Amino acid sequence: MGSESPYDAVVFWVSRHALIPSQLKELRRLLGNYRLVPVTGRVPSAEYIVNLVMKTRERRKVVIPVLPLEMIRRLVKYGRKYGFEVWYSVMDTVATGDGSKPLPDVNPSEHVLLTYPNGTWVLKKFRCFKRVVDVVVLLEEVGGGGGE
């Protein structure tokens, strides 16, 4: 078994939502012939994703996570150390509504409709992918007590 992959890149899509056609088309434009590895379900840690990434043979490795900020921050740190990229899928909010408005028409190749148990919904449209360079979380006290 050779060490080279027939793909130009591997993309780890870490989300409970599937990629939509406009995202797939943009990945093909940006990466050429790539292999997609969807990671769904519970992700226990950033290290779990790093282990998956490091087992692949492709020279270019991209992780596109929809995860808590702290996990994304750690992925970026590991990416610098191990040579993989972390990208963010930029989605614009097209419309929002509550139970009083009917759901909008959705173009499944461009839109994602998120619905919530309380009857609200958000319609999002894919705009582009961006590379995550760093994640900085600045915190301040609330309520004036403790937590040192």
pTM exceeds 0.75, yes or no: yes
Q: Could you report the per-residue pLDDT of 104-121, keeping only the tens digit for each?
A: 888 989 999 998 999 899
Residue 60, in any domain of the structure: yes
* 146 Rama sector, left if φ>0, alpha if ψ -120 to 50, beta otherwise: left
Structure tokens at 20: 């939509």
Spatial contact of 131 and 30, defined as CB atoms under 8 Å apart = no
Can you give the CATH number for the domain in which 32 is found?
3.40.50
Domain that holds residue 77: 9-89+127-131
For 93, which DSSP code?
E
What pLDDT was estimated at residue 115?
87
Number of domains in the chain: 1
Residue 122, in any domain of the structure: no
Residue 148, in any domain of the structure: no
Residue 66, in any domain of the structure: yes
The burial class, CB within 10 Å (0-12 / 13-18 / 19+), for 38 is middle
